[in-house]
Amino acid sequence: MGERTVVQRTFFAPPRELEPAELYFQAERGIAVAERARLVLDPHATATTDTYFGRFPASYWQSWTRIDEVSVRVAVEGAGRVRLLASDSAGRSRAVDSVRFSSGGDVELRAKLDRFADGGALWLEFTTGAAPLVAGEVRWHVQGPVRERDAVVVMCTHNRADDAMVTLTTLAGDAECLARLATVYVVDQGNDPVASRDGFAALRQSLGGKLNYLRQPNLGGAGGFTRGMYEATAGQQWPYVVLMDDDIMLEPETVLRMIAFASRTDEPAIVGGQMLQLLHPDRLHVDAEHVDLPNLRAGRPVADAVHDADLTEKSQHTRLDAGYNAWWCCLIPPEVITDVGYPLPIFFQWDDIEYGLRARAAGHRTVTLPGAGVWHADFAWKDWDDWARYFSLRNALIVSALHGEFDVRDTARFLFAELWRYLVSMRYGLAVTLITAVEDFLRGPSVLQDGGAQALGAIRKLRAEHLETVTHPISGAPDLPVAPAGPTPSRPGLVLVKRAAWHVLGRSRGGATIADRYSEWWHVSLFDTAVVTDPSQSGVRMRRRDPALMRALALRGARVLYRFLRRAPRARERYRASFPELTGRANWKRLFGTD
């Protein structure tokens, strides 16, 4: 059966003060004061860990492992009661164990993992009477089959040296987490290196000799993460590889939870952490996600997923099947790397999606584990209209060609509609971005030969020719009337045709100032001049109608999409034929320039 080991710790406060303690514990009655590792309850108080980080994801353990029981041990001082509570997939709670005590020591509670098929979690409830209570050192234990091996962290960074320092410092500050790691790889691809910071030497020392700091040219997230995987799999014993963004706010417990779960799944599976929103840290981005290949859309919530929700009010109880997990924090077992190889060198975006789809096709599914989360920059505060959109579109086409049905006509229709949505809303730089992405997709695998640096420079240069791609200070914006949007059109296809006709005929409602929340294409396209707030809220974008440019881009786009209809099937064959070489160790060795 194996020895009993710790698979989860319960903390009562976040690693720093900016994240809400309500994600760790909640006081239901009376006064409870939390420190990171202990909770102090006044007399006649009740507190619960029925919270995001406080719950044990029982349904996932029952469904994915052979573990049939979990025990939780708590060090207590004082007097009171500890109950172990459970939920079902609908969130209804029940008690499964309870202990009363009147002196200090350890208490232990147990639960069978046998009634959580569709969902449900476990958590603790602390209650005091006339005396106070102090609880701490909460450890969840299981006994059963385990695939023990080393684990490493791989962080990819590019000119976010200060962010990387904070994340690494947080990791180094958790002794139990650091003890579980054999190596911390930092792959620095920027010209403002992490090693240039004053505290870097001290940080290296605090990581206990486990830091392996690597410098290389900018090969994007795909190249940065792959370098860590490449180094970690150079020897005979391959470890669990935990990929991690540089600009997250890390909860170190998440790393331990992913490793503990991955080492006990029935079959090797990718285990992903969830994304909490950095600017709104009580909110979850999505419970689990999948990809819509026909419409080239990533990050679609799976059915019944919690999405953009306040986790102090909304709980995750339903067990979900993820299509993939993004690499803000994600564990890849060595068996997956053995079976499917290294990532595709597509520089930025969709590399994690492609890898998840490839792993699933090889029989390795992805588990997005509730209660394992990191804080990452809110996607809603990022603008689609930037250089990254090129890689998103080009790489979506590549991934669709490799893993989807790839109906060329349907894809062409989708791209044509996207092009016109960009044109009528005066996003000419974004239209050029789309056209270039399609052109480069049709070039075939040769576009990936340098890992993406050339494409990055080219698309930035192209976009710089279009003024609406630049964010300006609000103080210098023209004083135009504010124009809130009406309801969402019930027939958007017909509205798109009407807006295109308006632009051809020169009709408009003049100029307007438009808030980001109203910046849908069907609203912005009513005007010939629009001052639109950037989603980052740092400034505005100036959009001005240019009929001649619109006609030129429409004609160019139509020609490119006609070529797409004719040549995309052949491009698909070329990508598939080149795939083993592109993802092979030899190709990555060439890109890294290693000996």
- Apex CA 325: angle with CA 322 and CA 330, to 5°? 130
Q: Which two tokens stand for residue 270?
A: 């990718």
- Apex CA 3: angle with CA 2 and CA 7, to 5°? 105
CA atoms within 13 A on the CB side of 22: 11
The H or E element spanning position 262 is: helix 252-262
Helix, strand, coil % (nearest 5) of the chain?
A: 35, 30, 35
- Apex CA 414: angle with CA 413 and CA 415, to 5°? 90
- Tokens 């030899």 correspond to 586
Q: Which residues are annotated as catalytic?
A: 352
Phi, psi of 333 (to 5 degrees): -70, 155
The H or E element spanning position 544 is: strand 540-544
In whole angstroms, what is the distance from residue 30 CA to residue 513 CA?
A: 49
Beta strands in 170-282 (DSSP E): 181-188, 211-215, 240-245, 270-277
In whole angstroms, what is the distance from residue 297 CA to residue 280 CA?
A: 24
- Apex CA 172: angle with CA 167 and CA 173, to 5°? 100
- DSSP alpha helices (H): ranges in 120-239? 161-172, 175-179, 200-206, 220-232
Per-residue HEC secondary structure of 443-472 comes to HCHHHHCCCCHHHHHHHHHHHCCCHHHCEE
Collect contacts of 165-169 with beta carbons under 8 A, ≥24 apart. Answer: 165/194, 165/197, 165/199, 165/200, 165/203, 166/249, 167/244, 167/246, 167/247, 167/248, 167/249, 167/250, 168/194, 168/203, 168/207, 168/211, 169/199, 169/203, 169/206
**Three-state DSSP class for residue 505:** helix
User: What is each CA distance from 442 to 392, 395, 559, in whole angstroms?
Assistant: 15, 12, 13
